[in-house]
Chain A
Amino acid sequence: MEAASFNEVDLQEQTLEVDRTDRRVELLLGALASTILLLIAGMIIFVFVKALPSFTHNGLAWFGSGGSVDDQLMNIFNSPAEPENYVYHLRAWPLLYATILITGVAVLISVVFSVLSGIFIVEFAPERLRKTIEPVVKLLAAVPSVIYGLIGILVVVPFVAEHLISEGRKESVAYVIQLDGTSILVGVFILTIMICPIMIAIIVDALRAVPDKWVEGAAALGVNRWRAMRTVSLRAIRPAIVAALVLATARALGEAIMLSMVAGSVGFAPNPLDGFTFFLEPARPLASTIVDNAEGLSVAPFGQTMYAFAAILLISSAFLSFAGWAARKSFSRYTLGAR
């Protein structure tokens, strides 16, 4: 405000002219940003409007279990052409369960593994090894998921089918499901391998950015290397760990192609009571379900069901980034942006 009044005092024609072009540029850029914002808002609204019938017809039971989800999807796909006869009956729990299970386990394993590996790379790895592994990790973080899927389906799945699935094990669950190697075990394994590099790359960069003076300050107090790492560096990079976690979880939630290749692509809820066989049972998360059924999108009720899955994914990822934001905010109390 003071600046404005100061400007008024020694205004000149030229500054007026300058201000006008400036204003135009600002408006132009702002309009562009608003357009993108509208597009995003439009996306959210579109998807939800499209998804609504599936939710309203099923109510909260949509999230529950009951019957074979694949049969239900088939019925929806084959529903009569008249809108009043559309079939919407769906109990999506197996798909939700698969999403939560595969994503959750992979992310949990990855976060521990990535933090430890990041510490190893920054603090303990010999110089030569560090110089090789770092670019390789950055590369692996950028490798398309379909390549991981390819390795999974051509290498890991046959291995599992051959070495971990005996005839007896197959028969023990043959009345509900066929075991062919594609399984949540392979899904989680490949997903972990896929998201670890993403997290490690972020964690390594963050660890490297921790000011030396903090580490030296801890060392000068007679604190050993590991403790200094854990209590100063790791503490300081908690926001980065959360950011990595959010990014990796978003990737895992949205991973469609790779999981549809290696996790079995069957709408089945693996039963933990089956013991180790549990890990060898197939499943199909939401994102894979959409991709597998892309052909059916033009069938109205079926398409609406797919958009319902998309809506769930959208809500989860929005909630995820909000949770990440809140967590980072709570960590910044002592950091005060000093990095």
Chain B
Amino acid sequence: MSIEVRTAAPGPRPSLVKDPTDPRPTPKPSAAAAAGISHDTGWSIGDKAGLIAAWVCGISLCVIAASIVLFMAWKGIQFLHLDMLTTSPQASLDQSANGGFLDPLVGTLLLTAIGIAFAVPTGVAIAVWLTEYGRPAGLARLVESGVEIVAGTPSIVLAIFGLLVFQQSFMGIFSFTAEGGAVFGRSFLTAGAMMALIALPLVIGSTREALNTIPRHVREASYALGKDKASTIRRVLLPSARNGIATGATLGMGRICGDTAIVVILLGASMQTTPESGFFGLFRGTGSTLTSYVYNNSPAGEGNAPDKAYAAAFVLLMIVILLNFVVSLIGKRKAPQWN
């Protein structure tokens, strides 16, 4: 194989000053140069300042993030004992005698389960309706804005709205009715229903996103096989969107676990789980969650047992880390490839 590549002898570059004997035409100045636009390509002061600011912010972010994580880990290791996970909280001002946080832990799990059980089916249904049907368009826009309003509504507002609703006398079945007929309005069910509203926008959002990434031709191929829209949704679209649904559900669980306002207002003030009698007693009863336990045991709360608060916060953090990990696992799961 003979590749003929000419290699010219290196030599000095000819002077840029035009040689008067050079017969070439003088190149005309570029339009930009003629207009007097400078061509310096360095970094201006503003650029440098921006760059430095980005580095400063980035590094301080890293420092703050690391200190929060390490601080919580240290406190967790210092104060968390396994028996706290298996004993119920006791009313005592002595940190060694006020028990563990079994009830709040169970409460967190139960409340999350209830909230997500309401939120996922509703959210998926609404997302499907919005992306696949969305008629009449005006109603769809209204539903969209409604969901957005819920997403922006502070949970404390949802909480007192929930109290308003569930204290109506016909809502008595969801909580506990006192002697005089006054409905208490506070229970796992009522808190869970409001928690579902917090999770709903997240579920709707990520389901819609997932549905929107499925190209049109996939739907058309399914119709071409003689499937109707409903079974296309059930057999083709929802399975393809399952990563999105799972992400939304997990994000929703994270939000539910972490909410305090709804728990403080809608789950009653007792730290122990107190079921009502009857079939759905547990759901109609009151209790606490890790968030309300942490709040209660902080100096701002009634219990004031900082060690317990740290330990419970650490457990809560572990749950959040787990949920985050699940979200990233789902994200890495192979998404369907459309070609």
Contacts and interface: CB of A to CB of B under 8 A. Distances in A.
Interface in B13-70: 41-43, 47-48, 50-51, 53-59, 61-62, 64-66, 68-69
B149 interface: yes
A60 B294 CA distance: 39
B154 A287 contact: yes
A41 B146 contact: yes
A307 interface: yes
Q: Is the interface of B mostly helix, strand, loop or mixed?
A: helix
Interface in A82-98: none
Interface in A1-53: 18-19, 21-22, 25-26, 29-30, 32-34, 36-37, 40-41, 43-44, 46-47, 50
B263 to A, nearest CB: 9
Nearest to A119: B54
Interface in A246-278: 246, 250, 253-257, 260-261, 265
Contacts of B140: 33
Contacts of B148: 321, 325
Nearest to A40: B146
B316 A144 contact: yes
Contacts of A291: 156, 261, 264-265
A253 B69 CA distance: 25
A202 to B, nearest CB: 12
A144 B291 contact: yes
B287 to A, nearest CB: 16
A254 B156 contact: yes
A257 B47 contact: no
Nearest to B160: A310
Interface string B125-167: 1101110010100011011011111111111111011011100
A30 B133 contact: yes
A50 B48 CA distance: 55
Nearest to B165: A46
B156 A153 contact: no
Contacts of B320: 139, 142-144
Given A139-B324, A321-B152, A144 B54 contact: no
A120 interface: yes
B153 A257 contact: no
A317 interface: yes
A26 B228 CA distance: 12
Interface stretch (A68-76, A165-173, A208-216, A221-229): A221-229
Nearest to B223: A18
A108 interface: no
Contacts, number: 252
Interface in A125-153: 125, 129, 133, 135-140, 142-147, 149-151, 153
Nearest to A250: B152
B188 interface: no
Interface string A90-127: 00000000000000000000001100110111011100
Nearest to B154: A254
B65 A137 contact: yes
Interface string A293-323: 0100100000000110010011001101100
Given A143-B320, A256-B154, A310-B160, 8 more contacts: A21-B228, A25-B230, A44-B149, A144-B320, A146-B294, A146-B313, A150-B310, A261-B300
Interface of B: 41-43, 47-48, 50-51, 53-59, 61-62, 64-66, 68-69, 71-72, 122, 125-126, 128-130, 133, 135, 139-140, 142-143, 145-158, 160-161, 163-165, 200, 228-230, 233, 251, 254, 257-261, 264-265, 291, 294-295, 298-300, 306, 309-310, 313, 316-317, 320-321, 323-324, 328
20 contacts: A19-B228, A43-B161, A46-B164, A120-B58, A136-B69, A146-B313, A151-B68, A154-B306, A154-B310, A250-B152, A250-B153, A256-B156, A261-B295, A261-B300, A290-B157, A294-B265, A307-B160, A317-B153, A320-B152, A321-B148
Interface of A: 18-19, 21-22, 25-26, 29-30, 32-34, 36-37, 40-41, 43-44, 46-47, 50, 112-113, 116-117, 119-121, 123-125, 129, 133, 135-140, 142-147, 149-151, 153-155, 193, 196-197, 200, 222, 224, 226-227, 230, 246, 250, 253-257, 260-261, 265, 287, 290-291, 294, 297, 306-307, 310, 313-314, 317-318, 320-321, 325
